[in-house]
C-alpha cells in the first residue's frame, strides 16, 4: 500500500472528512494545514497572528510560512495523509525536496457545489466533526453528534469569503492537477457523491499498489 498520500481538491470537496476516515482505517498520520493554522490562531502564536488576516479573507498564507510549519511535522514519517497541502506549485516543489509521494487523490467538485456545501457547513468546536445543516445528521439542535460539543460556522465559511477561496483555488491550486498528472500519481474521484462512496474509491486506489 502506498502510504504517502495527498488529498487535493477545492474547499468543501470533503478532504477533511475523508482524511479523518482514512486515518481510522490506516492509522496514518493526518496533517491538515488548515487545522494546524486554526490551532495556531486559537493559541495566539506569532504564526497564528500573522496567518489570521490571510485566512479571514480566504487568501493563502505565504508559502514560506506554510512550508516551515509542515516540514517539521512530516519529519521522517513513513506515511501520512496531507489535507490542504500542497496548495501551490511552490509548495509541491518544496514537498518533493522533503519526501516522496505515492498517491494524489483529486476530489473534484464544481463552483456551485462548493458554494452550496460551504454555506451550510458546520464544525464541532471540540472534536472537529464536520456536518451540514441540510443533512439529516445535523438534526441535533446545534450539538455535535459525536461528543455533544458546540457546532459553529467557520469564519471563512461566509459567502464572499467562500467565493474568494474558490477563485484562489482555481488560480493557485488547480495547476497541481496537471503537475501531479504528469508525475503519473494522480487519481480523480467525483466529489459529488456520498462521502461513503468517495471513501470506497479512494481506498481502491491506495490499497491497490
- Give the footprint of ligand ADP on this chain (CB under 6 A): 11-12, 33-34, 37, 54-55, 58-61, 66, 84-85, 87, 91, 156, 165
Cell readout for 153 is: 460556522
Q: Does the annotation count 154 as an active-site position?
A: yes
124 binds Zn ion, rule: CB under 5 A: yes
Please, which residue, 44 or 204, has the CB nearer to ligand ADP? Answer: 44
Q: Are 8 and 89 in contact (CB under 8 A)?
A: no
- Is residue 123 part of the contact set for Zn ion (CB under 5 A)? no
Quote the least distance from Cβ 42 to ligand ADP, whole Å.
Answer: 13
Q: Starting from the edge strand earliest in sequence, which strands make up the sheet with 130-132, in order?
A: 130-132, 121-124, 151-152
Task: End-to-end CA distance of the chain: give it in Å, rounded.
Answer: 5
CB closer to ligand ADP out of 50 and 209: 50
Backbone φ/ψ region at 148: left (φ over 0), alpha (ψ -120 to 50), beta: left
Q: With CB cut-offs between 5 and 8 Å by kind, which of ligand ADP, Zn ion, none does residue 84 bind? A: ligand ADP
Q: What is the CA radius of gyration of the chain?
A: 16
CA 39, CA 54: separation in Å to the nearest integer?
A: 15
CB of 156 to Zn ion, least distance (A): 20
Exactly one of 20, 73, 111, 154 is catalytic; name it: 154
Q: How far apart are CA 66 and CA 120, in angstroms?
A: 28
Residue 53 vs 197, nearer CB to ligand ADP: 53
Nearest to ligand ADP of 58, 191 (CB atom): 58
- The answer to whether residue 165 is catalytic is yes
121 is catalytic: yes
Under the binding rule (CB under 5 A), the answer on residue 129 touching Zn ion is yes
Reduced to 3 states (helix: H, G, I; strand: E, B; else coil), residue 58 is coil
Candidate residues 28, 81, 144, 205; the one interacting with Zn ion per rule CB under 5 A: 144
Beta strand spans in 37-125 (E): 80-83, 103-108, 121-124
**Shortest CB 139 distance to ligand ADP, Å:** 23
Q: Helix, strand, coil % (nearest 5) of the chain?
A: 50, 15, 35
Catalytic residue among 4, 15, 38, 122: 15
Site for Zn ion, rule CB under 5 A: 124, 126-127, 129, 144, 146-147, 149
Annotated catalytic sites, by residue? 15, 87, 121, 154, 165
Amino acid at each position: 500500500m502506498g502510504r504517502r498520500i495527498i488529498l487535493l481538491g477545492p474547499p468543501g470537496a470533503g478532504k477533511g472528512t475523508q482524511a479523518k476516515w482514512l486515518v481510522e482505517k490506516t492509522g496514518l498520520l493526518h496533517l491538515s494545514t488548515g487545522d494546524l493554522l486554526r490551532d495556531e490562531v486559537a493559541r495566539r502564536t506569532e504564526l497564528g497572528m500573522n496567518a489570521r488576516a490571510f485566512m479571514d479573507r480566504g487568501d493563502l498564507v505565504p508559502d514560506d510560512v506554510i512550508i516551515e510549519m509542515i516540514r517539521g511535522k512530516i519529519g521522517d514519517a513513513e506515511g501520512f495523509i496531507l489535507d490542504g497541502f500542497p496548495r501551490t506549485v511552490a509548495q509541491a516543489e518544496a514537498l518533493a525536496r522533503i519526501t516522496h509521494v505515492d498517491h494524489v487523490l483529486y476530489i473534484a467538485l464544481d463552483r456551485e457545489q462548493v458554494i452550496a456545501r460551504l454555506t451550510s457547513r458546520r464544525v464541532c468546536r471540540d472534536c472537529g466533526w464536520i456536518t451540514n445543516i441540510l443533512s439529516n445528521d445535523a438534526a441535533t439542535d446545534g450539538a455535535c453528534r459525536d461528543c455533544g460539543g458546540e457546532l459553529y460556522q467557520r469564519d471563512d465559511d461566509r459567502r464572499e469569503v467562500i467565493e474568494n477561496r474558490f477563485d484562489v483555488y482555481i488560480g493557485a491550486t488547480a495547476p497541481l492537477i496537471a503537475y501531479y498528472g504528469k508525475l503519473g500519481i494522480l487519481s480523480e474521484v467525483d466529489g459529488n457523491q456520498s462521502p461513503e462512496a468517495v471513501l470506497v474509491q479512494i481506498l481502491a486506489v491506495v490499497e491497490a499498489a
